[in-house]
Chains A and B, each alone.
Chain A
């Protein structure tokens, strides 16, 4: 189960995730992002209530990071311990802009 809460302010897209970002829910997030990333200059992802992220979820984050590298910047905020450990272990903390 994953809740995706999107808010848009000018060029900034805020995405708040609640629940599990895994094999089943990753395609939802991918579709949601694909629909809105077009003109976005800044993508802010709030992981405060994200409980789990799988390799499929990491792939979606990676894709978004690659897109935003070309047209602006992307940052992930409020990363909790569980998710942070996953980022550390997978080396994604080297790639992603985590605050």
Chain B
């Protein structure tokens, strides 16, 4: 299996926090931008709408203001005319004063100055009328003073050819000092247009004869005593003054106001003489609206807004020009303020993110550091240092884990200590059992041939102990010169009790046998002895035979043991089956059956324990007596040692790798006859 890519917890926490921060910054930025654009469009609309309305209102109110101002001038002139009417109506009520021609000495002061329409008019002919008209100073003076400079000149002319001017510019006259001046005012528009009228009128804009700039004149006729129009009184108003008073806007330079007369001339101090047809900022639609005296606000194709409203006192239009950029200036201000806020907001978020990332980084270090330490501690413990302790952890889950590790280390140490002790104990017991097994094996006669000087028989026996000390034994001994005792036995059970029982049984059998008597008698004695205090309830199966060497006659007792196998000379191996007695030590008072047999020269015996017949292979199948007989009959005439080897070979081949549960014990004897071996 491929190892998963290592992802440290610290790195994971950090990347999660970083991701959250980045998403937050992005979302904030996007939301900010969207709201900026929507605010921008909303405010643009609102501003344009508001400004358009404001500018339209402004244009209207300015036009009204101009109206009011012009009407005030007309009213003033009307009053002057009525005053002069009164002079003519009641000449006897007024004093007469002299009016002089313009004099440079009087420059800078408001004085009345006389003039005549032509040289045909002589002073003496009109002296009384001049004297009477000198009273107009009473009316002119307050008007001039009250007008605060918007009215530059006041004058009147009569049908009788007299002209009186009231101004502070006596020096501009082109007459020689003290001489009369003549001025054909009757051809001037102000006079011509007014003398036939009933009421006041306002002249179109014209350029002042004295170079003071654009002017308008407001004139009104007055009557003589007969009630006929006798002359015209007029005041001159500098457009610049009117403009400053009424038109000028307190706006930035790009926005300004101007008046347009009926001819399309733009009236403003700066654009003297300019025409709306020459102004490229206007388009035809706007020009048409202005000429048609409409009221409204319009955006020319050039992008400039124009507000216009008619002035009613004169055929003028009041116009305001205002560029779009100026209207939208607040929008760009709002925009830049919003983007500043967005930037600073993003900046704050980035700072906070960095701060949070730093904190989280430190936190995750504080989280993983103990884990790494604990890992080192665990490695130390697993490396065999059970006295190592994981110490110095906070009282949290990791601390709990550390405590668990410590407990584990302590438990491991205790366990290993115990295990060592137990192992040592087991080893000791094992060693002692090995000694016991050795002693047990040593008790069996193992020197072959056992009786080198006796050639009447050949004898061989083996015991292959199982792992655990068991209870099998064989024995052979000469009871006397002519009798051979043969024993094959198996103690029930295993281990030390069986081994001890075996030692006792073997000793008792041999000792009793050597005292003489048949096998039944011997076993009866041994049975009584073994039954005494046999708390473990062990018993031993025994095959005991006493053979008379000289004759080959024998007696055997079989106490619950396996069937012996016999081969007659030149025959094959066969089981010798007869009824057995119970095993020794099963019960007190047992009488054992005795079985007599005869051995002839060449006959052979084979006895064994259940370790042979009941050996099992890996599939738990028994070796059985049939296989055992087959092994014996492989070489039926072989000498005892060879026979045993054959059986053992077959047995090993059969068992294979299966463990050996029981001792394997075999004994074989071949009877050569009293004459001894023939070969």
Whether chain B is bound by chain A comes out as yes
Indicate which residue in B492, B537, B563 contacts A55 across the interface (CB closer than 8 Å).
Answer: B492
- Least CB distance from A25 to B in Å reads 12
Closest residue of chain B to A96 (Cβ to Cβ) is B582
Give complex CA distance A66, B577 in Å: 28
A4 touches B (CB below 8 Å): no
Cβ–Cβ contact B582 & A94, under 8 A: yes
Give complex CA distance A92, B580 in Å: 9
Instruction: Please judge, given known A-B contacts A59-B537, A59-B538, A62-B537, whether A91 and B492 are in contact too, CB under 8 Å.
Output: no
A97 touches B (CB below 8 Å): no
Interface mask (B554-587 → A, CB under 8 Å = 1, otherwise 0): 0000111111000000000000010111110011
Cβ–Cβ contact B560 & A89, under 8 A: yes
Cβ–Cβ contact A56 & B493, under 8 A: yes
A88 touches B (CB below 8 Å): yes
Give complex CA distance A57, B60 in Å: 132
Q: List 15 A-B contacts (CB under 8 A).
A: A23-B494, A55-B490, A55-B583, A58-B583, A59-B537, A59-B539, A88-B579, A88-B580, A90-B541, A90-B580, A90-B582, A91-B581, A91-B583, A94-B581, A95-B582
Cβ–Cβ contact B580 & A55, under 8 A: no
Cβ–Cβ contact B580 & A89, under 8 A: yes
Cβ–Cβ contact A23 & B582, under 8 A: no
8 A Cβ contacts from A49-95 to B: 54-56, 58-59, 62-63, 66, 88-92, 94-95
Cβ–Cβ contact B559 & A91, under 8 A: yes
Indicate which residue in A56, A59, A89 contacts B562 across the interface (CB closer than 8 Å).
Answer: A89
Give complex CA distance A59, B582 in Å: 12
- Least CB distance from A88 to B in Å reads 6
B355 touches A (CB below 8 Å): no
**How big is the B interface, by class?**
20 to 34
Cβ–Cβ contact B492 & A95, under 8 A: no
In the complex, besides A55-B492, A59-B539, A91-B558, 12 extra interface pairs with C-beta distance below 8 angstroms are: A55-B583, A55-B610, A59-B493, A59-B538, A63-B537, A66-B537, A88-B580, A89-B562, A89-B580, A91-B579, A91-B580, A91-B582
Shortest 3 CB-CB contacts between residues of A and residues of B = A91-B582, A90-B560, A91-B580
- Least CB distance from A62 to B in Å reads 5
Give complex CA distance A62, B538 in Å: 9
B127 touches A (CB below 8 Å): no
B661 touches A (CB below 8 Å): yes
B614 touches A (CB below 8 Å): yes
Closest residue of chain B to A61 (Cβ to Cβ) is B586
Indicate which residue in A23, A63, A66 contacts B661 across the interface (CB closer than 8 Å).
Answer: A23
Give complex CA distance A66, B587 in Å: 8
Chain A residues lying within 8 Å of B577, measured Cβ to Cβ, are 89
Give complex CA distance A18, B515 in Å: 46
Chain B residues lying within 8 Å of A66, measured Cβ to Cβ, are 537, 587
Chain A residues lying within 8 Å of B539, measured Cβ to Cβ, are 58-59, 62
Closest residue of chain A to B577 (Cβ to Cβ) is A89
Closest residue of chain A to B662 (Cβ to Cβ) is A23
Chain A residues lying within 8 Å of B538, measured Cβ to Cβ, are 59
Give complex CA distance A93, B590 in Å: 13
Instruction: Please judge, given known A-B contacts A55-B610, A59-B539, whether A95 and B579 are in contact too, CB under 8 Å.
Output: no
Give complex CA distance A71, B529 in Å: 25
Cβ–Cβ contact A58 & B579, under 8 A: no
Give complex CA distance A20, B599 in Å: 38
Cβ–Cβ contact B583 & A89, under 8 A: no
Cβ–Cβ contact A59 & B492, under 8 A: yes
- Least CB distance from A76 to B in Å reads 15
Give complex CA distance A58, B560 in Å: 10
Closest residue of chain A to B592 (Cβ to Cβ) is A91
Interface mask (A23-50 → B, CB under 8 Å = 1, otherwise 0): 1000000000000000000000000000
Determine which residue in B492, B539, B541, B563 has the highest number of CB atoms from chain A within 10 A of its CB, and name it: B492
Chain B residues lying within 8 Å of A92, measured Cβ to Cβ, are 560, 582-583, 586
